[in-house]
Amino acid sequence: MATLILSGEAAIAQSTSSVSGPQVSPGSAIEFRAGAAETNDDTAFSYRLSGAHAITDTLRVRAIAGWQDGESTGPQFSYIEADLLWQFCGREPDAPYKSALRIDVRQDERREQQRIGVNWLNQIDLTPHWRTRLMASVDKEFNSAND
């Protein structure tokens, strides 16, 4: 079974998302992600651009913008998001367990929705090359058309 999972079949869809880690890295970073998905009548590409900056060794701010581009729809802005990450556990480089809280605010342009989320991010280093991440999230969505 493990061989089947790790064999690496061709992907027909990709995501620009991930399970976030709890670590605050010093300095600033810019990241670009791209993904593609095929539907019955279209090929859609998703893009995500983010910029992050460590305010201190335990606090990080980040801004994210996402958009899509489909053959039949053209480019469409998807969302903009801002978050604040506070790493409160495992700051030592060799700490086997790291934990953080992240508060995020998101505006979805197409559906006129806003979301506020609180996320508890955890990472356990199993070996120097393997780790597992666990994430618990609570979100509240607001729809400006209905609120």
Structure tokens at 91: 């700051």
Instruction: Note the pLDDT tens digit of each residue in 39-73.
Output: 667 778 889 999 999 999 999 999 999 998 887 77
Structure tokens at 80: 């903009």
- Tell the residue number behind the tokens 């609120």, with chain if given: 147
Sheet holding 113-125, edge to edge: 28-38, 43-54, 59-70, 74-89, 97-108, 113-125, 131-143
Type of residue found at 92? E
87 pLDDT band, cuts 50/70/90, is very high
Q: What's the CA gap between 142 and 145, in Å, rounded?
A: 9
Q: Which residues are CB-contacts of 59 (< 8 A; sequence separation ≥ 6)?
A: 24, 84, 85, 86, 87
Q: What's the CA gap between 4 and 120, in Å, rounded?
A: 32
What is the predicted pLDDT for the residue at 146?
A: 53
Q: Is the pLDDT of residue 11 over 50?
A: no
